[in-house]
Structures are given as structure tokens and as C-alpha cells.
Amino acid sequence: MNLPPDKVKILCQYDNEKKWELVCDQERFQVKNPPSAYLLKLRSYLDQGGVSRKFKRRVQESTQVLRELEISLRTNHIGWAQEFLSEENRGLDFLVDYMSFAQCAVTYDMDSLDNGTATPDKSVEDLTRSAGNSPIHSASKAARSLTVRKAMRNSRLVSQKDDVHLCIMCLRAIMNYQSGFNLVMTHPCCVNEITLSLNNRNPRTKALVLELLAAVCLVRGGHDIILSAFDNFKEVCGERSRFEKLMEYFSNEDSNIDFMVACMQFINIVVHSVENMNFRVHLQYEFSHHGLDDYLQVSDTESQREVRLKFTESDRLLVQIQAYLDNVFDVGALLEDAETKNALLEHMEELQDHNAQISSRLQESEREALETVSELEKHLIQTTKEVELLKESLRESCVQVTILQQREIEREIERERERERQRDRDRSAQALAELEEKVQGLVDQQLIRMERSSSGHLDLHVIPLILPVSIHAETEQITTVDGPVAPPTSVVPPPPPAPPLPGATEVTAQAPPPPPPPPPPPPCPTAPPPLPPPLPGGGIALPPPPPSVGMAPPFGGMHDGHTGNRNKKPIQTKYRMPSFNWQALKPNQVAGTIFNELDDENVLGELNMDAFEEQFKTKAQTAPADVGTLRAKVAQKIPSKVSLLESNRAKNLAITLRKGGMATSDICTAIETYNQEALSLDFLELLERFIPSEYEVKLIQNYERDGRPLDELPEEDRFMVRFGKIPRLVQRISTLTFMGNFPESIQLIQPQLNAIIAASMSIKSSSKLKKILEIILAFGNYMNSSKRGAAYGFRLQSLDLLLDTKSTDRKQTLLHFIVSIIQEKYPELQAFHSELHFMDKAALVSLDSILQDVCALKRGMEVTRKEFAVQEDNPVLQDFLTSNNDLLDSVVEDGKTAQDVYESTVEYFGENPKTTPPSMFFPVFVRFIKAYKQAEQENEQRKKQDVLSREGRTGPPSTSTSAKPEIPQKQVPMMPKLPQMDLIAELKRRQVIPLVREGKDGAIEDIITALKAVPFTARSGKRSSRLFCDSGFSDESPT
């Protein structure tokens, strides 16, 4: 269907039914006439002789034929247009010849008006020589001069119709194809004839020509062709300088705005679409020489009032004029700007240096402030702890005073009880004395007799008396007391308790007085022997257990690890097999594993591996090599020196030693003396990988025990022998690495700990932040309490949701409303973020990693202390420990303080410190502060917009003329006055080479359409050229 890309996209969006209708319509479409029919008629119109009546009858049909030809070139498939332009038909040549024939009389008549009378023959020959290269004009000048008068008459007949305009339309349709555009550009006369069409009397035709020429300027290579055509125009029309006629038409045209717009657009493009800035100034001067600047600039004279009014009536013309004025270069201003460029650059360098110094001082001040704040916070924490200890001591003292007072009261009560018991004892003693007197009286009266029995008991015997008969019955009932005297009914009270011991002051006032201690128990007849003293861990010393079954036997009973495994023979296969890239275990690693119980040889004996070899053999097969032959070859390749190290390990060690650039003895001596200056940290870290393993140590010992010379070993092995003899090699390497990394580790850890401490304390102690959270809690409960019930708090992640909760009109969020409330009701809270310090720095800290680094420093320092205990005469270790012990203790204390402060702060805000690292906790506040500031700015902008809208409603209505752009009364400057820095950026942007549209299908139509929507400016030329390439072009204002 020969559709451009933008139409193809639209077609693809249709449904299948619509697409099928379009296909059917395309199939029903029939070409009315072939290209030869139109060319035959054009040949007949080119007849410059003959009878004028016949020509008049033929020329009546020319306009209709050209109109149909334009429609066919524009609507028919591309094959029709290619046939029209083919070498056989030469349609472009005939079309150009006809257009030249149609307008030669117009050019002659206009030239006659300018130059007076002229010889018609010569004039026509001169005016038509531009088409002299055409095959149609191959006749001699003599033959042409015979029919020149008839040709001039026929040309006037044609020029009175729209044939020239239709020829331009046909050429425009041809140029819309890439192949047609290339033919037009390479044709010797086509562009020249299009340019000569500017002499046509029809303003519509001239506007069409200028639009087409402007579009050609924006195609790659087209600008030079257009300038060459205007050079030909100057030569043919007898201009004194180029563009003279064009400026004359533009200055004298008053009635047709479309022509003036097209003319101004062409001038803008032909001047400012070139890449060379100097050439652009040259072209600009050509039009200035013809009076363009004087014509565009408006003066205050009465004669120019009408011009200003006329320009003001057309917005399109004003836009094109303004686009040209925006692109104009003021060379004088550019020269002044160039002279000030060096001064500006020097000033900019000074500002950059000053800015760098300020930034450096700011970073230093920030670091010092962080350290100061951290120290103050730590001092505050320590002071707070001391205050808490003093408060606790005061509370304990108050409790002691209370206890002492209570005990004094108890003692007073006890003394009162003692006095009461004493009085009771006195009364009891008095009653006993009276009782004894009574008993003694009975004894004296011989009524009773007291005797002491052999058991020590006191017996009372009543002496019988002879009484009268009346009382005989009663006296018989009196019996003799044989047992001991019964105790009296009133029990003697116990003795008073002993006074409290001096060490019993800790007994609380509520506790009752302690009972008297019981008597000591009798000693045990036999006591077991005492147990042995316990161990420090609290257990009882036991004899050592026997060795476990899995433990290795003593050194004398060790055996080689290979003796426990059978030697496996290599398997000889018929075909070469691919490799199985597994990670095999060494023989000494199999002991005690499941593989020690497996027998793969038995499995291979049970299976037939022929099928396996057939399916898995490699494609390239050669005779399998004999194992013995391979061993012989390997033995031949063995170097003269025997290596005790594994090959890759030996190679890596050799590379490391070359990087160190030191002799073996120097390296080992530096390690033994802890010489940090001789050994770099990177080299030490590499050497740490090559500490000899137990297996390598045994190989070296066996080699030396055999008495073999060390010269037979490679350099790497000799280094390993010397390296392995350094006492406590692992500890020395670790100590050296630790000592080298210690300063850098402290510098990395300390600022991060300070940031955690300062940020945590600033958040926890911020009263303004607390109030803002209170406001947010109030708003949240107000919104949710009726549905979910009141909340007592919220998670900090809820602060991010303030931006998601929007108002009914979706114009503001809950955060915007809270910000406005704070500004109105709580203005003192607006700067709450000034109380929150070092949030961004603390958000980057991994507290767990820092604490692990602190523990690693403690372990490293402990290893260093142990090394110094072994070598107390080493000055390097002594100096290191002396200067860094206190520093490490301070860092350890800061680490504990940072952990405690952070955990207390996180718990203070209702979060779990175990699941909330600093990278999650502090960014919440960073995002909230950023969103709060953004909401403040948006609220201010909304207020300004509301004020402007209210002023616009209350202000006077604007007139229709005020909305139109107009040229100011004063002289329009050739270049807008920009600030110096903006001017430099503008010059750099103007020096960028603009993109040029390639001559592809549909390029001319796209450019013409786009230029009607967006005027070309040098600043947007690059963008506009890009827009021309886009199918989805959208209108946008020039910049």
C-alpha cells in the first residue's frame, strides 16, 4: 500500500475487519492513466511554434492534466512514480522543461520592467539558457530564434493559468520519495527552475516555492544547492547581489500574509541552519545589507505606524520574525563577551578554589562537631549514670535510717517487756515464799512430814490423827503422797531473751525477734573423711579419663595415612573418555567417611562398561596412550630441581615474592624484628596465605632429616624452609598485620560510633520531634478511632504513609495538612529537624559490623600483649602497646556506649533493636525530614498560586490585543541580554552542530508540516530536526 511509517502504525491499530476493508479498497483502486499519457500531453504543450489557435485549444487542458498528474504522483503506488521518473520516460525532464517554458515570459516581462526595452530574442535566449542542458533543447540557437516570438506568446498564455503552481506541486510530490528527491537534487536545472518560480505573480505560488526551498535547506546537502540556485537566480534576473529580488518581494508585499510568513521562515532557515558560525554571520549580513534589519525593527515615526499595525495583525508572522531575531548574532556583543571570557574563567577558578577550601573546612568542622557532640553525649551519659548511682545510694541510706529507727523502737518495746517480766518474777517469788511459809507451818503443826526418797524426790506424808466418829469417814479418804510433789499450777515464766547481737542489724523491722539458739547437737560418733578440695569450676577433682577410642595413638604409633587404603590401579579404556570435573578427596581425607566403606572396583566388575564407552566416548579418538609410556614421558619432563610444594602454590608464592622485591633473609628478619616499615600491609596479607601447613612442615623436616642439600630446591621451597623456621610465625604475622591496620581501623570505627551516639541522643532528647509525633498520633486516632479504636502509639514506618493518605480532591496529602497546621498553630516546631543531628551519617553505619570490628581489635591487642609477654625486650611491641592501649580502651567503651544508647533509643520509639538496624531506623527520620521540607515548599507554592488566581479574578479583564505578542516600541536588540554565565552556556549550545534530516521517504512533507507548527530557531534546530524524524510529532513552542 506504500504507506509511510506513521500511517503504518495507525493501520496496525485497526481491527481485522477494518484492515480487510482497506485491503479490498486498495485492490479495487485502478490507475487511471499510465505515466506515458501525461508525458505525451506535456510534449504537445511544449510546442513553441505552430498555429496559435491549435495551441490555445491544447493549453486549455494543461491545468487539468497537471492537476491529475499531481494527484497521481501523490496518491498512486511508488511503482507508478518510479515509472514516471525512469530513464525511458524522463518525466522529470519534461516537467522541468514545461515549467521553464511556462514562466519564461513572466521572467522576461519583469526584467523588461526593471531594465526598460530589450531585444526579445536575446532576452528569451538568456532567460531560457538554464534549461539548455535538457535533451529537448538540443536544437541550435538559430533554429530557436526563428520561433522565439511564437514561444513567448505561447508562454504568456500558459503563465496566465496555474500551471507553474501545479508544476511545483508535482515536484513536491516527487521530492517526497527518496529516489525522486535524489533525482531532483542531482538534476542540473530543477532546483534552479523552482527558485526562478519566485518571479511568478501569484503570491500563493511564491509561498509554496519558499516552503519547499526551506524544507530542502534542512535536508543534508540541501543548503548548498539552495544557495547555488539563488546564485543562478542572481545571474538570470540580473541582481546586483544575492537575495535582492526576494527582499524586494518581501518588502513590497502587503496583502498576502502566507507569502510573508513563508518568506520570513525561509530567511530564518537559510541563514541559521548552517553549521559554520562565521558563514551564518555572513548570510545574516547579506540580508542586513538588503535592509532586513531596518524593515523588521519598528521606529517611532508616523510612517511606520501602519507597518507595526500590519505586523501585529498576524501572530504567525510575528512568531517567525521573533524566531529570526532570537537567532541573530550580534558580533560586537560576542566580541565583548569573548574578551570577558578569560576574566570570567579566572573568577570561576577562584570561586572553585574558594568553594573547595570552604568544603574542606566544612568537612573538618563537621568532623570536629561530631567528635565534640559525641564526647558531650558520652559525658552526659556518664553523668546520668553517676546521678542514678547517687540516687540509689540515697535511697539505700534512707532505707538504713528507717531500719535503724524501727530497730530502736523494737528495742524500747523489748525493754518494756523485760521490765514487765521482772515484775512477774517478783510476784511469783513472793507467792512462793508465802507458800513455803504455809507448808512450814503445817510441818510445824505436825500435820505433814517431808522426806526425801532415795531417788531424790521430796515426799510429803500426812500424819494421821484420831478424830471423832463424825469425821472418821472423811479422814479415811486421806491418802499418803508417795510420788514427787506436783508442780504448781502457775508456771514460772522463762528467762528474758538475750539482747541482739551486734552483727544482726540487717534484720528488717517487719521480722519477729529471733528465737534463742538451740543447744548444740551431740557430736557424731563417726565422721566421714573430708572431700578433696573442689576445682575452680566448682567440680570435684576426678582422675583423668582414659583416652577415647577415636583419638590418635601416641606419636610413636602414628602410621602413614595411605596404608589404610588400597592402592587403586588406573583403568584402561578402549576409547578416550571425557573428563568428569568432580572435586576428589585426597587419600588421607577418606578415613572415617562413608567412602572408606565403598568398593567401586567390585561395582565395575559387575557391570559391562562397553555400552557406556560407546555412548560417552569423545568424538576425536586416537589410540589410548599406555600408562607406562605416559609415566616415562612425565619422568622425562620433571625438572632437575625437586619441589616440595604443590605446583600452583609454588607459582603463587613466586609471584608474591616478586611483588615484595626483597630477599628471603630480609623478609624473615623483618618479621622476626616486627619491622613494619620494611613490610607493607598488602605483602603481609599475601604472606599470610603461605604459612606452611603441617603437611608441608613434615615434608621439609623429612627432607632435612635425609641430609639432602637445600640448593637442590627451588627458590620458593628454600623461602618456605626459612619462613617456616620463624618461631611463632602465625602469631607474628597476625601481630604485624594487626599493628599495621590498627590506625586505619580506629579512624574508620571512631567516626561511625560517634555518629551513632550523637544521632541517637539527638533523636531521643528532641522535644520538638516528640510534639510532632504527638500531633501525628492525634490525627491518626481521629481518623481511625471510630473504626479501629484508639491507638496508644504507632510504628515509625507509618511516617512514610503520611504521603499516601490524600485529601478528597487529591490535591494534598495528610503530611501537607499537618505541615500547614504546624505552621499556623505550632510555629516553634517548624525547625524541629535542627535538633536532629547526623541522621544521614548514622544511617550508613552497620552497628553489628562495627562491634565485630571492635571485638577483632580486642583480640588482636590480646595477641600482641601475649607476644610482648614472650619478648619483653622488643621496643616495637612496647611502643605500640604503650601508645594504643588507652586508645583501644576508649574505642571499646565507645562501642558499648553506642550499642546501649542505640538500643535504648530504638526501644524508646517502640521498635525492636534486634530487628531494627541503624540502616532501617535512621532513614525513617531522614525521609520524614525530606518529605516535611518538600511539603513546606509545595504549601508555599500553593499559597502563591492562590494569591495570583485571586488577583487575576479581581484584576481588570485583558483585551484581545494584549494577548498577542508584539514588537516593542524601542529598537529590538540583535541579541538578548543574558547573564554572563548563561551567555557562555548559550554560546556553547549554539556551537553544537545541528542534526540534519536525511533524505528519506516522506521527509519533505514532514519538514514542511513541522515548520508550520514550530518555527525554526538555532537553539531548537537540533531538537526540531529530531522531531522531524519522529512519526508522532507533537506541537511545542520554540525555545
Give the model's pLDDT for residue 832.
Answer: 92
Q: Which residue has the higher pLDDT, 584 or 144?
A: 584
Whether the CA torsion 653, 657, 663, 668 is positive or negative: it is: negative
| Angle, CA of 359, 361 and 365, to the nearest 5° | 115
Give the model's pLDDT for residue 294.
Answer: 83
Whether the predicted pLDDT of 400 surpasses 80: yes
Which of 281, 243, 235, 278 shows the shortest CA–CA distance to 263? 243
Q: Which residue has the higher pLDDT, 587 or 548?
A: 587
Whether the predicted pLDDT of 962 surpasses 60: no
Predicted confidence band of residue 641 (pLDDT cuts 50, 70, 90):
low
Tell me: the pLDDT tens digits for 1014-1026? 777 664 333 333 3
- CA dist 607 and 610 (Å) reads 9
- CA dist 777 and 696 (Å) reads 69
Long-range Cβ contacts of 618-622 (<8 Å, 24+ apart): 618/575, 618/576, 618/577, 618/578, 620/576, 621/575, 621/576, 622/576
- Kind plus residue range of the DSSP H or E element containing 582: none
Average pLDDT, integer, range 229-254: 89
Give the model's pLDDT for residue 520.
Answer: 47
* Furthest C-alpha separation in the chain: 215
Give the model's pLDDT for residue 132.
Answer: 41
Which of 314, 194, 198, 317 shows the shortest CA–CA distance to 248? 198
The most confident of 19-28, 534-543, 768-777, 921-930, by mean pLDDT? 921-930
Contact 796, 924 (CB under 8 A): yes
Contacts of 449 (CB under 8 A, 6+ apart): 443, 460, 461, 462, 463
Q: Which residue has the higher pLDDT, 12 or 452?
A: 12
The percentage of the chain sitting over the pLDDT mark of 90, rounded to a whole number, equals 14
Average pLDDT, integer, range 707-733: 82
Give the model's pLDDT for residue 169.
Answer: 92
Which of 39, 153, 35 shows the shortest CA–CA distance to 104? 153
The most confident of 118-132, 319-333, 839-853, 972-986, by mean pLDDT? 839-853
Asked if the domains 647-726 and 757-934 are classified in one and the same CATH topology, the answer is yes
CA distances from 324 to 265, 416, 971, 972, 1019 (A): 8, 121, 15, 12, 11
Give the model's pLDDT for residue 596.
Answer: 59
Burial classification of residue 540, based on how many CB atoms lie within 10 Å of its CB (0-12 exposed, 13-18 middle, 19 or more buried): exposed
What are 490's three cell numbers?
502457775
What are 500's three cell numbers?
541482739
Give the model's pLDDT for residue 163.
Answer: 83
Predicted confidence band of residue 120 (pLDDT cuts 50, 70, 90):
very low
Predicted confidence band of residue 303 (pLDDT cuts 50, 70, 90):
very low
- CA dist 892 and 269 (Å) reads 74
Give the model's pLDDT for residue 598.
Answer: 59
CA distances from 238 to 202, 232, 235, 242, 656 (A): 21, 10, 5, 10, 86
The crossing angle, in degrees rounded to 10, of helices 715-724 and 694-705 is 100
Q: Which residue has the higher pLDDT, 419 or 312?
A: 419
8-state DSSP, 449: E
Whether the predicted pLDDT of 957 surpasses 60: no
Quote helix, strand, coil % in the chain, to nearest 5: 65, 0, 35
Q: Which CATH number fits domain 647-726: 3.40.50, 3.80.10, 1.20.1050, 1.20.58?
A: 1.20.58
In the chain, the amino acid numbered 498 is A
Contacts of 759 (CB under 8 A, 6+ apart): 836, 837, 838, 839, 841, 842, 922
Predicted confidence band of residue 702 (pLDDT cuts 50, 70, 90):
confident
Give the model's pLDDT for residue 211.
Answer: 92
Give the model's pLDDT for residue 1036.
Answer: 39
- CA dist 193 and 107 (Å) reads 11
Give the model's pLDDT for residue 937.
Answer: 92
Average pLDDT, integer, range 52-79: 76
Give the model's pLDDT for residue 1017.
Answer: 66
- CA dist 147 and 50 (Å) reads 9
Contact 221, 168 (CB under 8 A): no
Tell me: the pLDDT tens digits for 179-191? 889 999 999 999 9
- CA dist 564 and 883 (Å) reads 55
Contact 285, 330 (CB under 8 A): no
Predicted confidence band of residue 910 (pLDDT cuts 50, 70, 90):
confident
- CA dist 670 and 666 (Å) reads 6
Residues recorded for the chain:
1039
Whether the predicted pLDDT of 377 surpasses 50: yes
CA distances from 669 to 495, 679, 686, 713, 726 (A): 88, 11, 17, 21, 9
- 3-state secondary structure (DSSP) of residue 702: helix
Predicted confidence band of residue 194 (pLDDT cuts 50, 70, 90):
very high
Whether the predicted pLDDT of 229 surpasses 90: yes
- 3-state secondary structure (DSSP) of residue 997: strand
| Angle, CA of 17, 19 and 24, to the nearest 5° | 95
In the chain, where the domains are located: 1-30, 35-201, 647-726, 757-934
Tell me: the pLDDT tens digits for 477-509? 444 334 444 444 434 444 444 444 333 333 333
- CA dist 778 and 695 (Å) reads 72
In the predicted model, what is the mean pLDDT of the chain? Answer: 73
Tell me: the pLDDT tens digits for 898-908? 999 999 999 88
What are 555's three cell numbers?
606419636
CB-side neighbour CA atoms (13 Å) of 363: 6
Give the model's pLDDT for residue 579.
Answer: 59
Whether the CA torsion 26, 29, 35, 41 is positive or negative: it is: negative
Contact 423, 414 (CB under 8 A): no
Number of other residues whose CB lies within 10 A of the CB of residue 544: 5
Q: Which CATH number fits domain 757-934: 1.20.58.2220, 3.30.1280.10, 1.10.10.10, 3.30.1330.40?
A: 1.20.58.2220
Average pLDDT, integer, range 250-260: 83
Which of 918, 905, 926 shows the shortest CA–CA distance to 849? 918
Give the model's pLDDT for residue 333.
Answer: 83
Number of other residues whose CB lies within 10 A of the CB of residue 445: 9
Q: Which residue has the higher pLDDT, 61 or 85?
A: 85
Q: Which residue has the higher pLDDT, 194 or 329?
A: 194
Predicted confidence band of residue 998 (pLDDT cuts 50, 70, 90):
low
Instruction: Average the pLDDT over each of 28-42, 47-61, 757-771, 993-1007 and give the range with the smallest value.
Output: 47-61
Which of 636, 639, 657 shows the shortest CA–CA distance to 647? 639
Instruction: Average the pLDDT over each of 603-607, 703-707, 960-964 and give the range with the smallest value.
Output: 960-964
Give the model's pLDDT for residue 308.
Answer: 44
For 801-820, the DSSP string reads GGGT-B-TTSS-BHHHHHHH
Predicted confidence band of residue 231 (pLDDT cuts 50, 70, 90):
very high
- CA dist 287 and 281 (Å) reads 10
- 3-state secondary structure (DSSP) of residue 242: coil
Contact 1021, 994 (CB under 8 A): yes
Predicted confidence band of residue 293 (pLDDT cuts 50, 70, 90):
confident
The crossing angle, in degrees rounded to 10, of helices 980-990 and 331-444 is 120
Tell me: the pLDDT tens digits for 787-839? 777 778 888 888 888 888 888 887 888 899 899 889 988 999 998 988 898 88
- CA dist 770 and 793 (Å) reads 12
Contact 764, 905 (CB under 8 A): yes
Instruction: Average the pLDDT over each of 262-271, 489-498, 732-741 and give the range with the smallest value.
Output: 489-498
Q: Which parts of 609-720 are beta strand (E)?
A: none
- Kind plus residue range of the DSSP H or E element containing 461: strand 458-462
- CA dist 43 and 94 (Å) reads 7
Give the model's pLDDT for residue 122.
Answer: 38
Average pLDDT, integer, range 335-344: 85
In the chain, the amino acid numbered 692 is P
Contacts of 994 (CB under 8 A, 6+ apart): 273, 275, 1018, 1021, 1022, 1025
Whether the predicted pLDDT of 556 surpasses 50: no
Tell me: the pLDDT tens digits for 560-613? 444 456 665 667 677 766 655 445 556 665 565 544 555 666 555 655 666 656
Give the model's pLDDT for residue 995.
Answer: 42
Beta bridge partners of residue 459, listed in sequence order: 451
Beta bridge partners of residue 350, listed in sequence order: none
Q: What ranges in 176-301 are assigned the alpha helix state H?
A: 178-186, 190-196, 203-217, 222-237, 244-252, 257-272, 277-289, 292-296
For 59-70, the DSSP string reads HTTHHHHHHHHH
